[in-house]
Amino acid sequence: MTDSPLLIEDRDAVRVITIHRPERLNALDSATIAALHAAADAAADDASVRVVVLTGAGPKAFVAGADIAEMSGLTPSEGRDFALRGQRMMRRLETLPKPVIAMVNGFALGGGLELAMCCHLRIASETAKVGQPEINLGLIPGFGGTQRLLRLAGRAATLELCLAGAPVDAARALQLGIVNRVVPAAELEAATMALATQLAAAAPLALRGILDCVNTGGECGIEEGLAYEAAQFGLVFSTEDMREGTSAFLAKRRPEFQGR
Tell me what the mean pLDDT of segment 32-42 comes to: 97
6-200: CATH, from 1.10.1060.10, 3.40.640.10, 3.40.50.1820, 3.90.226.10: 3.90.226.10
pLDDT at 2: 53
Position 73: which residue type?
G
Domain range list for the chain: 6-200, 204-251
User: pTM of the predicted model, to two decimals?
Assistant: 0.94
**What pLDDT is recorded for position 245?**
87
Name the phi and psi angles at 74, rounded to 5. -75, 145
Is 134 tagged catalytic?
yes
Active site residue 240: no
Tens of pLDDT, residue by residue over 84-93, are 999 999 999 9
What is the per-residue DSSP string for the chain?
Answer: -TT-SEEEEEETTEEEEEE--GGGTT-B-HHHHHHHHHHHHHHHH-TT--EEEEEESSSSEEE--B-HHHHTT--HHHHHHHHHHHHHHHHHHHT-SS-EEEEE-SEEETHHHHHHHHSSEEEEETT-EEE-GGGGGT----SSHHHHHHHHH-HHHHHHHHHH---EEHHHHHHHTS-SEEE-GGGHHHHHHHHHHHHHTS-HHHHHHHHHHHHHHTTS-HHHHHHHHHHHHHHHTTSHHHHHHHHHHHHTS-------
Active-site annotation holder among 23, 114, 223, 229: 114
The CA-CA-CA angle for residues 64, 68, 72, to 5°, reads 165
Per-residue pLDDT for 1 more than 80?
A: no
The number of C-alpha atoms within 13 Å of 11 and in the hemisphere containing its C-beta is 16
Taking residues 119-129, report their average pLDDT.
97
Output the pLDDT for position 6: 97
**Is CATH 1.10.12.10 the classification given to domain 204-251?**
yes
Active-site residue identified among 23, 134, 160, 256: 134
- Mean pLDDT of the region 174-194: 97
Q: CB under 8 Å, gap of 24 or more: what pairs does 148-151 form?
A: 148/114, 148/117, 148/118, 149/113, 149/117, 149/178, 151/218
